């Protein structure tokens, strides 16, 4: 008798992929909170970044502004 080859594994779809994405997001959120000390500080940091994104007209503009500022020589004290 010939052996049947196993069926190729399908990528997670539908509900399974949503669960995987949710778990990954929660883990990232937990890391973010740990980096900032607690939930309130993490929320404050996220709000500041959100405000900067709005002030600069979008994430791409903020990223570009940060790159420009990063190229400036450090202030000498």
Per-residue pLDDT tens digits for 17-68: 899 999 999 999 999 999 989 999 999 999 999 999 999 899 899 899 889 9
Q: Is 15 a domain residue? A: no
Range of the domain at 40: 24-71
Cα angle value 17/39/48 (rounded, 5°)? 90
Q: Does 15 score more than 80 pLDDT?
A: no
Q: Is 77 a domain residue? A: no
Total-model pTM? 0.54
* R_g of the chain, CA atoms, integer Å: 22
The token pair at 12 is: 């997670």
For residue 13, the 8-state DSSP code is: -
Please tell me the total count of domains within the chain.
1
Q: How far apart are CA 28 and CA 48, in angstroms?
A: 18
| Helix (H/G/I), strand (E/B), else coil: 70 | helix
């Amino acid at each position: 008798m010939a052996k049947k080859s196993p069926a190729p594994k399908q990528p997670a779809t539908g509900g399974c992929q949503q669960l995987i994405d949710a778990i990954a997001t929660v883990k990232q959120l937990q890391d973010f909170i740990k980096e900032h000390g607690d939930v309130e500080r993490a929320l404050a940091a996220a709000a500041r970044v959100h405000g900067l994104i709005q002030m600069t007209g979008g994430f791409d503009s903020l990223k570009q502004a940060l790159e420009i500022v990063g190229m400036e020589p450090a202030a000498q004290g």
